[in-house]
Each structure stands twice: as structure tokens, then as C-alpha cells.
Amino acid sequence: GKGNFRHFMQKEIHEQPAVIGDTLHSYVNLQTRAVTLPEMPLDFAALPRLTISACGTAFYAGFVAKYWFEQIARLPVEVDIASEFRYREAPMPEGGAALFISQSGETIDTLAALRYARSQKQTILSIVNQPESVIGRESDLVLPTLAGPEIGVASTKAFTTQLTVLACLALAAARARGAIDAAAEACLSSAITEVPAAITQVLEHAEPLEAIAHDISAVRDVLFLGRGSLFPIALEGALKLKEISYIHAEGYAAGELKHGPIALIDEDVPVVIAAPSGPLFDKLASNIQETIARGGRAIIFSDRAGLERIGDGAAYTVEMPTIDPFVAPILYSLPMQLLAYYTAVAKGTDVDQPRNLAKSVTVE
Ligand code: M6R
């Protein structure tokens, strides 16, 4: 049941510190903080390329992982939505591996993409929440997310546990490929273990988001911006909002703003920006200034240091806990989920069963 919560989605958002903790328990040795994966059916050191495919929110998890595998493990990654990948007839390298991400493990396009990769002799890995599912059964190795049942149609805890497993996998790949030294690995793996407590902090200070959501509930369009590994989080924020509040939203890489979408910006189109401190912060800060200079209402999520550097002019700023940039995409998923949730509540839409949508899409 929903316990003390009004909706399953709200309950599932609040379960995230616990289920990410459970997931970490099975992928990280919490004493040594070293990532420990099951025996792999492949050698990351010799892998020419990893191909990732999934749908919807699971695709965005894979898109974040592309940044991680490339930067930390120096592993070439291709990522595509499964409905495109399955028909592209993409050549796949000899000795390559393919990774499929799915909460249900039953999504038909993801399954078809898996079977295509199998026909191309790739090693098949999957990250699924339901290991007994067809995608799980057809994989050479299943890395389960321990999210527990997700009832709300809008995926929340499945997404952040997928990211958790992917972060661990990227670290394991980095080690196998000799791409990081022991000190860097220790630093990144301890960053992962800090995520549940940081999420708890976000959940305990969520009231400002209700006021922002109230404003958003009155508009027709919203833009979401991010850069680097936060770009997929902007896409996810936009998907979450349109899915449950029926407000039109688009996610953009902030650097693309001046190549088109900036024409949309005025006081009626709020711009939500995921802006953690990190290597791309200054670039993003100038994109924020471009937005504000055109009369846009910027809603900025950043940590204390970031907010100090951005200065005035935003419609709203929300302070996030300070965290290693590596795991920022996991943490910044939370305000995206909460904004969508409170906006839907303000509009009175059906949060758990949005119109026209099914929890798992088993027909093409
Ligand atoms: O069960 P799956 O993870 O394969 O489902 C994939 C998508 O259908 C799913 O993530 C969908 O986009 C969600 N409704 C998003 O909240």
C-alpha cells in the first residue's frame, strides 16, 4: 500500500535513500568501499565498445552512463533508444558488449534491441529491476537494481538505482582498463556511498519546491537545461513533467540554447537548470546569464558554492547539498522528480496513472 503517502510516486521518491542503500550493499563493499561486481562474462580491458540501449527514463540512465564510461573508464560507448536501435542495422564490433536497461524487463523494443545485439554476437548485460523478466532471462549477466516494486507509472526509484548500478559498473570498468589509480577510485566509490544521505537531505528540505511547482502549474511550456552528465537529467526532468502534469517540456544541452531554443525564452517559459559545481560550471553559468538577460525566469538548482557564483537575477534558487560531480546526476534527479510531482498535484492530474500511459510497454 501507500502507507502515509498520498501517491505511490511520492512513496517511491521517498524510498530512494533506502533502495539506493540496498543496491549499494550488493555492489560495494561498505568496509573497504571497493566496488565488487559478480563475475563478468567479459573482460573490460579488451572491450572495443559498449552499446547501451533502452527506452524512456531507462534510456536517460544509459545516457548518463555514457558520460561515466567514457570519462572515467575511457571506454567508447554508443547509446540509443531501443525503438531506433533495433531497426538501424548498426554494425557491432567483434568482441563487443551490449547493455540493456529496463525496470520491467519486459519492454518490447528493448527486448528486440537485445535480440539484435545477440545476433551480432555481442555479450549481453542487463540492468533490470525484475530479474525473472524476459530481458533478464536472455542476458549473459543480470545486474539487478534492488528498487523493489515500482507502481507509479512515472519511474523514480528505478531510475536512481539504475544510475547507482551504472556508476559501480563504470568504476569496475575503469579499474579493469587501468584508467584510474587507486586513490581516484577510492574517492569516486566513497562519493557513491554518500548519495543516500544527500538524498535524505534533499527530501527533508523539499518545501520550496512546492511553491515553485505551484508557479509551474500555471504555464504551458518549460525548458530544462543541463550540461555534461546533467544533460540527460534535464531530459529526464522534462519527461517527468510532461508525463504526469501534461505540461509541455523540453530538455536541452545548455550549450545548444543559442542554436534555437533561446528564441522561446520569455517570462512565460520557466527555465529549470541543473547546475552543480563541477568542471562545466562556468560554461553553464554563462548560459544562465543568457537566459536571465532575455527576461527568462530561471529556476536554478546548485550547491552553495555554485549559487554564490551565479549571483542575482534568478526567479528561484534552490540550494542542493555539496557532492562530488561524479554522482551529481543521481542527486539532481530528485528535484526533477519532486518538481514534476508537486506540479501534477497542484494541477490535480492523476499522478500514478497518467492518461494514455502504461507501466510497461509490451507492444510495439
Ligand atoms: O520498464 P522499462 O524500464 O523498460 O520502461 C521504459 C520506459 O517505458 C519507462 O521508463 C517510461 O519512460 C516511464 N514511464 C518514465 O517515467
Query: Quick one: which atom of ligand 1 is closest to the CA of 57?
Result: 10
Which of 314, 332, 315 shows the shortest CA–CA distance to 323?
A: 332
Nearest residue (by CA) to ligand 1, atom 7, is 56
Q: Name the residue of 360, 363, 364 to mutate for ligand 1: max ligand atoms within 8 A of Cβ.
A: 360
> Per the structure block, which three cell numbers stand in for 277?
559545481
Measured between alpha carbons, how far is 212 from 89 in angstroms, rounded to an integer? Answer: 45
Pocket of ligand 1 (CB under 6 A): 55-58, 102-104, 107, 110, 153-155, 243, 360-361
Measured between alpha carbons, how far is 68 from 356 in angstroms, rounded to an integer? Answer: 34
Measured between alpha carbons, how far is 179 from 53 in angstroms, rounded to an integer? Answer: 24
Q: Of all residues in the chain, what percent are helix, strand and coil, respectively (each to 5)?
A: 50, 15, 35
Between helices 231-245 and 333-347, what is the axis angle to 10°?
A: 20
Nearest residue (by CA) to ligand 1, atom 12, is 56
> Per the structure block, which three cell numbers stand in for 122?
555481442
Measured between alpha carbons, how far is 97 from 76 in angstroms, rounded to an integer? Answer: 11
Measured between alpha carbons, how far is 252 from 227 in angstroms, rounded to an integer? Answer: 8
The one-letter code for the residue type at 48 is P
For residue 296, the tally of other CB atoms under 10 A from its CB is 25
Q: 28: Cβ–Cβ under 8 A, 6 or more apart, which residues? A: 34, 35, 36, 168, 189, 192, 193
Going from the Cα of 260 to the center of ligand 1, the distance in angstroms, rounded, reads 28
Going from the Cα of 155 to the center of ligand 1, the distance in angstroms, rounded, reads 6
Going from the Cα of 294 to the center of ligand 1, the distance in angstroms, rounded, reads 35
For residue 39, the tally of other CB atoms under 10 A from its CB is 5
Going from the Cα of 242 to the center of ligand 1, the distance in angstroms, rounded, reads 14
What is the predicted ipTM? 0.99
Nearest residue (by CA) to ligand 1, atom 14, is 154
The one-letter code for the residue type at 278 is G
CA–CA distances in Å: residue 295 to residues 163, 208, 266, 268: 35, 22, 5, 9
Nearest residue (by CA) to ligand 1, atom 16, is 154
Going from the Cα of 60 to the center of ligand 1, the distance in angstroms, rounded, reads 10
> Per the structure block, which three cell numbers stand in for 60?
536517460
Nearest residue (by CA) to ligand 1, atom 11, is 56
Measured between alpha carbons, how far is 209 from 318 in angstroms, rounded to an integer? Answer: 8
Q: State residue 41's pLDDT score.
A: 94
Per-residue pLDDT for the chain (364 aa), expressed as one digit of tens each? 899 999 999 999 999 999 999 999 999 998 888 899 999 999 999 999 999 999 999 999 999 999 999 999 999 999 999 999 999 999 999 999 999 999 999 999 999 999 999 999 999 999 999 989 999 999 999 999 999 999 999 999 999 999 999 999 999 999 999 999 999 999 999 999 999 999 999 999 999 999 999 999 999 999 999 999 999 999 999 999 999 999 999 999 999 999 999 999 999 999 999 999 999 999 999 989 989 999 999 999 999 999 999 988 999 999 999 999 999 999 999 999 999 999 999 999 999 999 999 898 988 8
* Catalytic annotation present for 2: no
Numbers of helices and strands, H then E, in the chain: 15, 12
